[in-house]
A = this chain, B = another copy of it.
Amino acid sequence: MSIHPFDAVKDYEVRLAAKLVKDSYPASANVHFCQIDRFDPPKEDMKKYIIAEREGLPLPRISRVLYCYYYTNTTEFNKALVNVTAGHVITKVQQPKGVVGPFLPDDVIEMEEYIMKHPIVLQEIEKLKLPKGYQVRNDPWIYATDDPNEKRNLIQFYMYVLAGNGHSESNHYSLPLKFSPVFEQFTKKFVRMDYLPGGFDHTTVPTQPWQQVPCAEYHPDLNGESERPGIKPLLIQQPDGPSFTVRGNKISWQGWEFRVSPTAREGFACYDGWFKGRQVFYRISLSEMTVPYGDPRAPYHRKQAFDLGDVGFGMGGNKLALGCDCLGHIKYFDGMGIHGNGEPYIIPNTVCMHEQDDGLLYKHVNYRNDNAVVARRRIFIVQTIATVANYEYIINLKFANDGLIDIEARATGILSTMPIDQDVKVPWGTIVAPNCMAAYHQHILSFRIDPAVDGHKNSVVYDDAVKLPKHPVDNPYGIGFVTDRHFVEKAGHIEQAPFKNRTYKILNENVINPIAKTPVGYKVQMPARQMLLADRDSFNARRAKFATEQIWVTKYRDGELYAAGEFTQQSQKDTGLAVWANGVDNVRNDDIVVWATMGFTHIPRVEDFPVMPVEIHNIQLVPANFWDKNPALDLPQATNAFNKSVLVQSEEEKSCCKSRI
């Protein structure tokens, strides 16, 4: 089968691109890659391609292009675009000083190991006078930004005691230390030793012998828990196989058709979505996530991760396992990582796909005779899970059998912790274990929705539900309410207004619903949330303008994929929505992109430690006057002949051997 323009990057493409880039430099330039992936094909070409594909016409030829991020001469950061179909480098641009690429996992691990042998670090560790069986472990952290003049590529290392008598899975996050070295990447130069406060304010003290406290362990080998009894298998059996088919990267399921492509930066992108023969979207993906912390003390004020731009969500993609990360009949796609030399490697099973039953979809009972109609909601889930050092993020794109799409994020993993002295409390954190504090922080995710509601010319409106004024004839009892529609004309954001029931819709004004007599559309449904708490003039806000508003609309342009801009590590400002949401571009009845911000302020609970039960957040895309009736009327009625459920008896019924049904 020939390659599709939306197929994920292939290993031979990565090799070719890396070779072409390397060959374009002298060997002495020492080309060192940090990310290589497919560059999205031009949309104008793909519009023609999609039409030809659906109509069975000859397909236009579309070149496969890869982007390569790499360093030359140790510290010069470059970006190249490479046409791997034609076999040539399209452009090569050395980025301005201070622009830093995403971390390559190999490089971070190398630094993590390197600093543990560095004499200055060893000297601090020595001062801890650790008891036997205890070691030190570090977590490299993105350095973030507090200085407009900083041009070096820096890493901050947070240091922890590793208990557990050498058990690799001991929870070092429970035992944070009070020194934190900073090194320069690549040159490996020691920059500075930061000392961390233990009290209420920013006061620090030189490293003292470590005061032994119990470690809050999560691993079953170490956590001291006896296994909770009584949980019995609950098996998802699909005797006739799954209801979906996979051809190349194209999924077909219950009227839905779309393509899934794992990517280095986003985890995966979903392309070219149709439901029951009508076009719904061009591309949906997570676009960026920023995680700023609220502890104002140095160096914590620099804790602001951009989990896509700084590392790559796909680069932290988990190797998902049957029966662990999802149940039932599972199809996996692999991701692709690279080494510094440009050699690719497979990240197996980084995206999983499966079906779930999701309760009732609709029901009605005619009370006159008890006749019931009932159909069940089935969903198809595309899932990826990324580990970003301590945290895990589960991203689910769920397609429902009534045309709804649910974008779900589940946050789990381990809190990023700070040392705290005994008997101290701070107003910006929760004590989650002895001498261990988890600072308040926010997770602000931008989902990029490139809609194609019955075609590419779409508009965005918001509808408010507002009272009708009381009026002796028109509203004598003061109970009337109506909706008030506002069109978004120019690229920008829409303010939240939950008390007006503000509802965002993507419409196609060129297609009128024959029943409702209004434009066809999809709702973007999400609860109102607190956005970025940092001051508007702070680095946190300047670097993540996307995180300050809950929904944005921009005019579509090729290459505008990432909400905070292309290069986020140690960025000084947002070069994404801050630029594109310019108040100038027309976004009405045009090719547009909608950016939905999902935010949650995380005030840690003790229950979130040592490993967090998921916190779940959702954004839904819901057909709204898109169809001329419920599009799920063609579902079969739910019956036990099909679903084979089983009646349970109470203990009394069991003991007297009688059945009540």
| A294: interface (CB < 8 Å) | yes
Q: Which one of B201, B353, B465 contacts A601 once the chains associate, using CB atoms below 8 Å?
A: B465
Distance from A290 Cβ to chain B, minimum over Cβ atoms (Å): 12
B630 close to A611 (CB less than 8 A): yes
Q: Mark A292-314, 1 if CB is under 8 A from B, else 0.
A: 11111000010010000000000
- A120-149, CB < 8 A from B: 146
B603 close to A233 (CB less than 8 A): no
| A114: interface (CB < 8 Å) | no
Q: Which one of B365, B413, B626 contacts A392 once the chains associate, using CB atoms below 8 Å?
A: B365
Distance from A279 Cβ to chain B, minimum over Cβ atoms (Å): 17
B220 close to A515 (CB less than 8 A): no
Distance from A369 Cβ to chain B, minimum over Cβ atoms (Å): 6
What B residues does A624 contact at CB under 8 A? 605, 607
What B residues does A427 contact at CB under 8 A? 482-483
Distance, CA A425 to CA B512, complexed state (A): 14
- A254-281, CB < 8 A from B: 254-255
Distance, CA A628 to CA B430, complexed state (A): 12
A645 close to B329 (CB less than 8 A): yes
What B residues does A292 contact at CB under 8 A? 479
A530 close to B365 (CB less than 8 A): no
Distance, CA A245 to CA B540, complexed state (A): 52
A625 and B644 in contact, given A440-B483, A652-B248 (Cβ under 8 angstroms):
no
Task: Give the bracket for the number of chain A residues in contact with chain B.
Answer: 35 or more
Q: Which one of B323, B434, B468, B535 contacts A467 once the chains associate, using CB atoms below 8 Å?
A: B535
What B residues does A168 contact at CB under 8 A? 366, 368-369, 371
B516 close to A630 (CB less than 8 A): no
- A512-547, CB < 8 A from B: 513, 515-517, 527-531, 533-535, 537-540
B630 close to A480 (CB less than 8 A): no
A603 close to B234 (CB less than 8 A): no
Q: Which one of B223, B630, B650 contacts A612 once the chains associate, using CB atoms below 8 Å?
A: B630
Distance from A563 Cβ to chain B, minimum over Cβ atoms (Å): 19
A235 close to B233 (CB less than 8 A): no
Distance, CA A109 to CA B369, complexed state (A): 11
A1 and B630 in contact, given A168-B371, A220-B373, A323-B642 (Cβ under 8 angstroms):
no
Task: Tell me the interface secondary structure of chain A in the complex.
Answer: loop
| A60: interface (CB < 8 Å) | no
Name the residue of chain B whose CB is nearest to the CB of A230: B243
A366 and B234 in contact, given A483-B603, A614-B360, A651-B246 (Cβ under 8 angstroms):
no
What B residues does A637 contact at CB under 8 A? 220
| A104: interface (CB < 8 Å) | no
What B residues does A499 contact at CB under 8 A? 496, 528, 530-531
Distance, CA A296 to CA B390, complexed state (A): 55
Distance, CA A109 to CA B427, complexed state (A): 61
Name the residue of chain B whose CB is nearest to the CB of A640: B323
What B residues does A362 contact at CB under 8 A? 412-413, 611-614
Q: Which one of B329, B468, B476, B531 contacts A646 once the chains associate, using CB atoms below 8 Å?
A: B329
B329 close to A479 (CB less than 8 A): no
| A459: interface (CB < 8 Å) | no
A606 and B516 in contact, given A233-B643, A413-B364 (Cβ under 8 angstroms):
yes
Stretch at the interface among A22-30, A70-78, A402-410: A402-410
B614 close to A650 (CB less than 8 A): no
What B residues does A611 contact at CB under 8 A? 362-364, 373, 630, 633
Q: Mark A460-477, 1 if CB is under 8 A from B, else 0.
A: 000101111010011111
A432 and B651 in contact, given A323-B645, A530-B465 (Cβ under 8 angstroms):
no
Q: Mark A596-640, 1 if CB is under 8 A from B, else 0.
A: 000001010111111111100000001111111111111111111
Distance from A637 Cβ to chain B, minimum over Cβ atoms (Å): 6
Name the residue of chain B whose CB is nearest to the CB of A408: B359
Q: Mark A330-357, 1 if CB is under 8 A from B, else 0.
A: 1110000000000000001100011111
Distance, CA A332 to CA B362, complexed state (A): 21
Q: Which one of B253, B498, B629 contacts A606 once the chains associate, using CB atoms below 8 Å?
A: B629
| A191: interface (CB < 8 Å) | no
| A190: interface (CB < 8 Å) | no
What B residues does A54 contact at CB under 8 A? none
Q: Which one of B328, B603, B606 contacts A628 once the chains associate, using CB atoms below 8 Å?
A: B606
A322 and B227 in contact, given A146-B477, A479-B534, A625-B607 (Cβ under 8 angstroms):
no
| A239: interface (CB < 8 Å) | yes
| A92: interface (CB < 8 Å) | no
Distance, CA A524 to CA B54, complexed state (A): 49
A433 close to B477 (CB less than 8 A): no
What B residues does A513 contact at CB under 8 A? 606
A652 close to B530 (CB less than 8 A): no
Q: Mark A438-463, 1 if CB is under 8 A from B, else 0.
A: 00100000000000000000000001
What B residues does A498 contact at CB under 8 A? 496, 498, 527-530
| A372: interface (CB < 8 Å) | yes
What B residues does A225 contact at CB under 8 A? 633-634
| A247: interface (CB < 8 Å) | yes
Q: Mind listing 9 A-B residue pairs with CB under 8 Å?
A: A1-B652, A223-B633, A230-B253, A233-B237, A245-B651, A377-B613, A501-B529, A607-B623, A611-B633
Q: A228-B401, A332-B661, A609-B629 are in contact. List 9 more A-B contacts (CB 8 A).
A: A228-B636, A231-B378, A232-B241, A235-B237, A236-B237, A328-B646, A364-B392, A425-B517, A498-B528
8 A-B pairs closest in CB distance = A323-B640, A296-B480, A478-B535, A527-B527, A323-B643, A294-B481, A427-B482, A246-B650
